[in-house]
Amino acid sequence: MGDRARPESSDGGTMFQHNNSVPDYPYYNDIPASIGWTDWIIVLLALGLGFAALTIIPHIPWLSMTLDGLLRSVLFGTIPLSAFAWRVGPAWKAIFHGWRRNYLWWGLVFGVINLLFTYVIGTLAMGHMHLADNSVGVGLSDGDIPGGPAMFYLRTGIQLVGEEVFTILPFLFLMWLGVRILGLPRAAAILLAWIGSALSFGAMHLPAYHWNIGQAFLLIGLVRLVLTLAYMTTKSIWSSIIAHVLNDWAMFTLLIAATALGA
């Protein structure tokens, strides 16, 4: 692929057009590294293996349920991220783009926006479609906090990082696919990546919501679109991690507090 012309980026906004004040999306134009089909197939398989480690692989008998859950959360994100680093080399760090203070700012902004958006669409959906309960939410409502609050927040925080890896790597793959293979304009490839990665995120949540297709793809998918905007604004996974952790931890905390006050 190295002999192919690199797609040019145009100046403009920060989400669908490249602006020199913000890092560009990596890999789709062979910057900072060239990635081919073999690399992406290995990464996609590793994403599947990470998801299997989280949800399918049987419990390890000599581990407590708490440590088993923690290990699964760690493997969920580290398996695909390790495969990605293996195939890309040091350029894997481009999904983070170092650290800037505005990553925190945008993460907090989109975390709050997503909380409000989740409340609005959740309220609207309750009157128009059947919604399945999430087992984590049901457990917290019943006062069941696996491993205690500290371990619960640690495990879920690590798992949420894995969920961002599970979203952003497919986003970057789909953008690469759109530009390099399908020949789409950059903006169209970004749209493909944005929507496609949200659908894969929704599919990942099908087991958690008892295979409720409408809830997983429509509601969870829409929420994912907002969370991904944090990444699209900064081109750093740090921002979407912060937004996602803030969103979910806030909802977990509200459930725990409501249960405690109602006890």
Task: Dump pLDDT digits (tens) for 202-235.
Answer: 999 998 888 899 889 999 999 999 999 999 999 9
pLDDT number for residue 3: 38
Does pLDDT of 30 surpass 50? yes
> pLDDT tens-digit profile of 32-55?
999 999 999 999 999 999 999 999
pLDDT of residue 1: 41
Q: How confident is the model at residue 115 (pLDDT cuts 50, 70, 90)?
A: very high
pLDDT at residue 243 is higher than 50: yes
pTM score over 0.85: yes
The lowest-confidence range among 2-6, 20-24, 117-121 is: 2-6
Please enumerate in sequence order all residues whose Cβ is within 8 A of that of 233, keeping only pairs 6 or more positions apart, or say none.
14, 15, 22, 106, 110, 239
Amino acid 263: pLDDT: 52
Q: What pLDDT does 176 receive?
A: 98
C-alpha to C-alpha distance for 61 and 197, rounded to whole angstroms: 35
Question: Which residue has 């490249």 as its token pair?
Answer: 18
Contact status, residue 220 vs residue 202, Cβ threshold 8 Å: yes
Give Cα separations from 81 to 192, 236, 260 (angstroms): 22, 15, 38
Question: H or E stretch including 40?
Answer: helix 37-55
Task: Please name which of 49, 12, 6, 46 lies closest in space to residue 28, comparing C-alpha atoms.
Answer: 6
Q: Which is higher by pLDDT, 246 or 207?
A: 246
- Residue 8 confidence (pLDDT): 44
pLDDT greater than 70 at residue 171: yes
> Is it the case that residue 163 has pLDDT exceeding 70?
yes
The answer to whether the peptide bond before residue 32 is cis (omega within 30 degrees of 0) is yes
Percentage with pLDDT > 90 across the chain: 68
Where residue 110 falls (left for φ over 0; alpha for ψ -120 to 50; beta otherwise) is: alpha
Every domain of the chain and the residues it spans: 99-262
Is pLDDT of 5 > 50?
no
Burial category of 207 from C-beta neighbours within 10 Å (exposed 0-12, middle 13-18, buried 19 and up): middle
Output the pLDDT for position 17. Answer: 62
Say whether pLDDT at 94 is over 60: yes
Give the range among 93-107, 125-139, 182-196 with minimum mean pLDDT: 125-139
Contact present, 198 and 224 (Cβ < 8 Å): yes
Average pLDDT, the chain: 89
